[in-house]
Amino acid sequence: MVKGYEVVIGLETHAELNTESKIYCDCKNQFGLEVNSQVCPVCMGMPGALPTLNEKVVDYAIKMGHALNCKINRVCKQDRKNYFYPDLPKAYQISQAEVPLCENGYVDILVDGEERRIGVTRIHIEEDAGKLLHSDKFDGCSLVDLNRCGVPLIEIVSEPDMRSSAEAKAYLETLKSILQYLGICDCKMEQGSIRCDVNVSVHKPGEPLGTRSEMKNVNSFSAAVRGIDYEVNRQIEILENGGRVEQETRRWDDVKGESVSMRSKEDAQDYRYFPEPDLLTIVVDEERVNALKNEIPELPNTKLLRYVRKFGLSQKEATFIAESAELAALFDGCMAKGKYPAKAYATWLLGDFIKYLNDTGKSVSDTCLDADNLTELVGLIEKGTISNAGGKKIFAVIIEKKEDVAALVDKLGLAQVSDSSALEAIADEVLAANEKSVSDYKNGKTNALGYLVGQCMKASKGKANPGMMKEIILKKLG
């Protein structure tokens, strides 16, 4: 609810699939290569050239369909969407209109600790268009780069099930992590590998749904949040001033932080969809659909819920671990040993480990950390054999080298003194030398305790078990 209005959001998300070659020709599907170098008569729409479907695209889309709990349409066709634009060489985009490859699914997301189920209307396959290049250097012309023509896309259309920009963001982040898990999209936002169109409307509770606007050119998740918030406020303002929201397509300008009208409903384009006669009906046999289902790992959103519910991690911790398949595998490996609490592992993974990965640019598998040595390390700390600070020293070693953790304790001299008679001797010595602090404590200055424990640690050259040390001092102080 925003200012007494209910917000309704639906998203159309385009994700570029990372197949080797393009969807309808043998050209390489790769970003950032020399302008117009990855093109052929087919993707340039030369007269007489014909498309042939890259079956990998169908496989990838079906995987996403399974991941989003969709019904897979084993028989479906491709259609032409006709419109003129210089980045579209055939003047039609091959897409799917009537029957998409996947439909009627859903995805569970977690927003502020609350679980939400977002409906997925459909997922269909289509080809990307090229890119127009504008520059003062081009002498009044615009140039076109056709490398992106024919890059395979899936369009994921959600139901209008989201109620806030935060939910929209969580939905998009969930889609992104699933795409990454499936390994079917590079998910590089800066390269435009995921883009979305946002549909927004507002209405008073109990009243019928409001008129929606569609916002295009939303190129990052944070832009989606800004765009939705802007649009919600714009619509509420119109309604509060007694106006009517127009059904229109708007363009989000993230730099200016505002949307501008592109075209109204009356100017809506007629795409004259019709079945693509150059391509056959797509027929996928049941065996293939099932085989693809079996290839799907436990997905990050499922993991996330498991980590929160079963292991008691916070949403932040769980999200962080679940979003990286490698990190999650490491974490699950540790938990499978059933020895120590999840929090103890999460502290290492979200702390020193992530810092190390960020500093070095390495991935999880580039390091020497595994479930065995991490569990051993956590165990030494839990048992009090080494201090947390000592643990950090060992961690710094085992992240880079396969070394025996127990041996490292000796080698680095990190073993804590947990022998109570030795600790008592130290305590006696320190208490005797600090009579003033002892009397301070007895007179109610409790922070003198910290000082005394600190002195004991110093006397032990840092090797005393701080917990035990504190308990002994307390006992001795009566």
Partner 1 sequence: MELYGKNAAELSAMLKNREISSVELTESVFRRIDETEEKINAYVTLDRENALKSAAEIDARRAAGEELSPLAGIVMGIKDNISTKGLATTCASKMLADYKPPFNATVMDKLAAAGVVVAGKLNMDEFAMGSSTETSYFKPTKNPYDTDRIPGGSSGGSAAAVAAGEAVLALGSDTGGSIRQPAAYCGVVGLKPTYGAVSRFGLVAFASSLDQIGPIGKTVEDVAMLQTAICGHDRMDATSARREYPDYFRGLENNAQGLKIGIPKEYFGDGIDGEVKQKIMDAVKLLEKNGASVKEISLPSADYALSSYYIISSAEASSNLARYDGVRYGYRAENYDGLIDMYEKTRSEGFGDEVKRRIMLGTFVLSSGFFDAYYKKAKLLQRRISAEFSDAFGEVDVIATPTVPTTAFRIGENTDDPLKMYATDICTVTVNIAGLPALSVPCGCDSKGLPVGLQLIGGKFTEQRLLNAAYTYEHLRGGFPAAVI
For partner 1, the binding residues (CB under 8 A) are: 41, 44-53, 80, 82, 84, 86, 89-92, 144, 270, 272-274, 277-280
In the complex, the smallest distance separating the C-beta of residue 84 from partner 1, rounded to whole angstroms, is 6
Question: Which of 63, 80 has the CB closer to partner 1?
Answer: 80
Question: Which of 145, 376 has the CB closer to partner 1?
Answer: 145
- Using CA atoms, how far apart are residues 312 and 161, in angstroms rounded to an integer? 28
In the complex, the smallest distance separating the C-beta of residue 82 from partner 1, rounded to whole angstroms, is 5
Which of 89, 84, 86, 92 shows the shortest CA–CA distance to 141?
86
Question: Which of 262, 305 has the CB closer to partner 1?
Answer: 262
Question: Which of 87, 159 has the CB closer to partner 1?
Answer: 87
Nearest-10 Cα torsion for 302, 307, 313, 316: -30
Cβ-Cβ contacts under 8 Å for 116 (sequence gap 6 or more) = 108, 109, 110, 161, 167, 170
Burial of 301 (0-12, 13-18, 19+ CB in 10 A): buried
In the complex, the smallest distance separating the C-beta of residue 278 from partner 1, rounded to whole angstroms, is 5
In the complex, the smallest distance separating the C-beta of residue 42 from partner 1, rounded to whole angstroms, is 8
Question: Which of 86, 413 has the CB closer to partner 1?
Answer: 86
In the complex, the smallest distance separating the C-beta of residue 80 from partner 1, rounded to whole angstroms, is 5
Question: Which of 214, 231 has the CB closer to partner 1?
Answer: 214
In the complex, the smallest distance separating the C-beta of residue 370 from partner 1, rounded to whole angstroms, is 46
Question: Which of 264, 363 has the CB closer to partner 1?
Answer: 264
**Side chain identity at 422, as an amino acid letter?**
A
In the complex, the smallest distance separating the C-beta of residue 280 from partner 1, rounded to whole angstroms, is 5
Question: How far, CA to CA in Å, does 381 sit from each of 66, 87, 314, 385, 391?
Answer: 42, 60, 22, 6, 7
Structure-block tokens of residue 301 = 């959103």
- Using CA atoms, how far apart are residues 156 and 68, in angstroms rounded to an integer? 10
Report phi then psi at 77, rounded to 5. -130, 175
* Residue 129 burial (CB count, 10 A): 21
Question: Which of 23, 423 has the CB closer to partner 1?
Answer: 23
Question: Which of 36, 219 has the CB closer to partner 1?
Answer: 36
In the complex, the smallest distance separating the C-beta of residue 272 from partner 1, rounded to whole angstroms, is 4
Cβ–Cβ under 8 Å, residues 104 and 70: yes
The single residue listed with the structure tokens 């005393």 is: 464
Distance from the first to the final alpha carbon of the chain = 58
* Residue 127 burial (CB count, 10 A): 25
Cβ–Cβ under 8 Å, residues 101 and 116: no
- Using CA atoms, how far apart are residues 331 and 347, in angstroms rounded to an integer? 11
Question: Which of 261, 281 has the CB closer to partner 1?
Answer: 281
Q: What is the largest CA-CA distance in the chain?
A: 99
In the complex, the smallest distance separating the C-beta of residue 254 from partner 1, rounded to whole angstroms, is 25
In the complex, the smallest distance separating the C-beta of residue 54 from partner 1, rounded to whole angstroms, is 11
In the complex, the smallest distance separating the C-beta of residue 35 from partner 1, rounded to whole angstroms, is 14
**Side chain identity at 23, as an amino acid letter?**
I
- Using CA atoms, how far apart are residues 335 and 467, in angstroms rounded to an integer? 26
- The CA angle 254-257-260, to the nearest 5 degrees, is 85
The single residue listed with the structure tokens 């008679």 is: 421
**Side chain identity at 188, as an amino acid letter?**
K
H/E stretch holding 213: strand 213-218
Question: Which of 209, 268 has the CB closer to partner 1?
Answer: 268
- Using CA atoms, how far apart are residues 61 and 74, in angstroms rounded to an integer? 12
